[in-house]
Amino acid sequence: MITGGSRGIGGAIARGFGAEGARVVINHFKDDNNAADTAAIIRESGGETLTIDADVADSSQVGAMVAQVIETWGRIDILVCNAGICPFYDFLDISEEIWDRTLDVNLKGVFLVSQAVARHMVERGGGGRIIATSSISSMVGGTQQAHYCASKAGINLLIKSMALSLAPHQITCNAVLPGTVETALNRDALQDAAARIEYERKIPLGRVGQPDDITGAVMFLASQGAQWMTGSLIVIDGGTTSAFQ
């Protein structure tokens, strides 16, 4: 099950799992067209999909979504908490409403969905993988991202705490921390040639990331090769944060 799985990084992850034969639940929030497009690609490759419109910040909708998946397919083995928003505002211009919505989707959403799925995993005898999409913005500040940075930093320690709590049940919890990846969140900014050059100047590998650059690490964390990894934060940023150190 992939939250925010209709497009961008989540869509790439959904397609990756689908290509490997997984049954893929694409959660989205009022993004029917993109969810349908991603589901169609998975089905064309021979995979099975279920699309569910649900707000991850609403516990009742989360509960209904998890129940629907279990009723349809019987179990959830892998959860990817990817849903997130990043409204760009200077610190002095962030309203309480914007702050609350950002933290609700990005951080509370990970908590609510992870808790609901983890309870199911425990009830069916344990075992499972929970993977969250954090960001290198959890490690460095941003002039228009104070709310976003705070939400992603929260994910990091939430994942580590979950890893400790769920280890006795053989449920691993890890996170990936992407750098600048070209998605709908920042595509407009990257269309400006000068701005793109400035972004790329800060990335040692010389280019902004693409959603598919994140898929491999997520699929590794869901694989048998990562069965002894939990509480880990994997940075995928073209070397950006290494250059800052």
Catalytic residues: 135, 148, 152
What's the CA gap between 203 and 108, in Å, rounded?
30
CA–CA distances in Å: residue 157 to residues 153, 163, 202 = 7, 10, 27
Report whether 41 contacts 97 (CB < 8 A): no
The residue behind tokens 């799925």 is 117
What's the CA gap between 128 and 122, in Å, rounded?
9
Report whether 231 contacts 163 (CB < 8 A): yes
- The upper half-sphere exposure of residue 144, i.e. CA atoms within 13 Å in the direction of its Cβ, equals 6
Backbone φ, ψ for residue 49 (5° rounding): -135, 155
Residue 18 corresponds to which tokens in the numbers above?
Answer: 């689908």
Type of residue at 240: T
Rg (CA), the chain: 17
